[in-house]
Amino acid sequence: MTGNAPRNMIFNGDCIDVMQAFNTGSIDFILTDPPYVTRYRDRQGRSVANDDNGRWLKPAFAEMHRVVKDSGFAISFYGWNKVDLFMEAWRAAGFRVVGHLVFRKRYASSSRFLRYEHEQAYLLAKGNPRMPSRIIPDVIDFPYSGNRLHPTQKPVEALTPLVEAFTRRGDLVLDPFSGSGSTLAAARALGRDWVGVELDASHYRTAARRLGQAQRMDAA
Ligand SMILES: C[S@@+](CC[C@H](N)C(=O)[O-])C[C@H]1O[C@@H](n2cnc3c(N)ncnc32)[C@H](O)[C@@H]1O
């Protein structure tokens, strides 16, 4: 049972502020894709807010740890070359690192010493969660999303197995770095409740449209 948290809505604001209004332990599961802190810029020159600094890392993961239920899980994508910053923030927040996921692409997102053909995420636990009823593999296929809705849009197909494995129908899924709302779309398709936060007003509008939410410009 969860306590008081907003359901089936997206907030336009800074997730650190927005999550402060959520009750402790009010979220069943977090699946998030924060900025990788890599100063990403795509071919069209699109960039990602807060991708040029890691100041938000510790306060954001501290809030995520507070709002997720005891014995709950969070999954966070991260930038492989900034793993030290992410790991420090996850551990400082109180999360236990209990698994690692690799998302196999059929294309390279960049190429230097290697062709970079995977995305990655850690499975983080608060306390001692029970085993999921169905254990999924830690390698998941990652089709190209086309990045039409967001410069780093995740394919819903790669997120669905995670939501399915770590939640039940009616559970509340949070993505504090929603972008175009891919996590929330996966949660909704599976009959889960969802709540998202997005800083950028234009991405917020995209996500709100995608999830069919009447637009609310107010934070928290
Ligand atoms: C990697 S993108 C997420 C993309 C998303 N998974 C999708 O499929 O569209 C990270 C998002 O976090 C947002 N962001 C950055 N800092 C934020 C903050 N403090 N609070 C809320 N959103 C933030 C960025 O604007 C960006 O849209």
Which one of 178, 195, 206 would you pick to mutate in the ligand 1 pocket, going by the greatest count of ligand atoms within 8 A of its CB?
Answer: 178
CB 21 within 8 A of CB 220: yes
Rounded to an integer, the average pLDDT of 141-160 is 96
Residue 217 is predicted with a pLDDT of: 44
Which residue minimizes the CA distance to atom 3 of ligand 1?
Answer: 179
Taking the centre of ligand 1 as the mean of its atom positions, its distance from the CA of residue 32, in whole angstroms, is 9
Taking the centre of ligand 1 as the mean of its atom positions, its distance from the CA of residue 134, in whole angstroms, is 29
Residue 123 clears pLDDT 80, i.e. is over it? yes
Residue 109 is predicted with a pLDDT of: 86
Residue 218 is predicted with a pLDDT of: 40
Give the contacts of 26 (CB within 8 A, at least 6 positions apart): 2, 3, 4, 5, 67, 69, 172
- Report which of residues 13 and 43 the model is more confident about: 13
Residue 213 clears pLDDT 90, i.e. is over it? no
Ligand 1 pocket residues where CB is under 6 Å: 14-16, 33-35, 48-50, 56, 150, 152-154, 176-177, 179-180, 182, 197-200, 203
pLDDT band at 16 (very low <50, low <70, confident <90, very high): very high
Taking the centre of ligand 1 as the mean of its atom positions, its distance from the CA of residue 133, in whole angstroms, is 30
pLDDT digits over 188-211, tens only?
Answer: 999 999 999 999 999 999 999 999
Residue 5 is predicted with a pLDDT of: 81
Q: Give dist(CA 197, CA 143) in Å, integer.
A: 25
| The ligand 1 atom nearest the CA atom of 180 | 9
3-state secondary structure labels for all residues of 108-124: CCEECCCEECEEEEEEE
pLDDT band at 47 (very low <50, low <70, confident <90, very high): very high
Rounded to an integer, the average pLDDT of 142-168 is 96
Which residue minimizes the CA distance to atom 4 of ligand 1?
Answer: 179
Which residue minimizes the CA distance to atom 5 of ligand 1?
Answer: 179
Rounded to an integer, the average pLDDT of 66-79 is 98
**Whole-number average pLDDT of the chain:** 94
Euclidean distance between the first and final Cα of the chain, in Å?
22
Residue 86 is predicted with a pLDDT of: 98
| The ligand 1 atom nearest the CA atom of 34 | 10
Taking the centre of ligand 1 as the mean of its atom positions, its distance from the CA of residue 135, in whole angstroms, is 28
Taking the centre of ligand 1 as the mean of its atom positions, its distance from the CA of residue 49, in whole angstroms, is 7
Residue 56 clears pLDDT 80, i.e. is over it? yes
% pLDDT > 90, the chain: 91
Residue 220 is predicted with a pLDDT of: 35
Which residue minimizes the CA distance to atom 17 of ligand 1?
Answer: 199
The amino acid at residue 58 is K
| The ligand 1 atom nearest the CA atom of 207 | 9
Q: Give dist(CA 85, CA 18) in Å, integer.
A: 23
DSSP assignment of 170-203, as one string?
T-EEEETT-TTTHHHHHHHHTT-EEEEEESSHHH
Rounded to an integer, the average pLDDT of 100-126 is 95
Residue 111 clears pLDDT 80, i.e. is over it? yes
Residue 155 clears pLDDT 60, i.e. is over it? yes
Residue 1 clears pLDDT 50, i.e. is over it? no
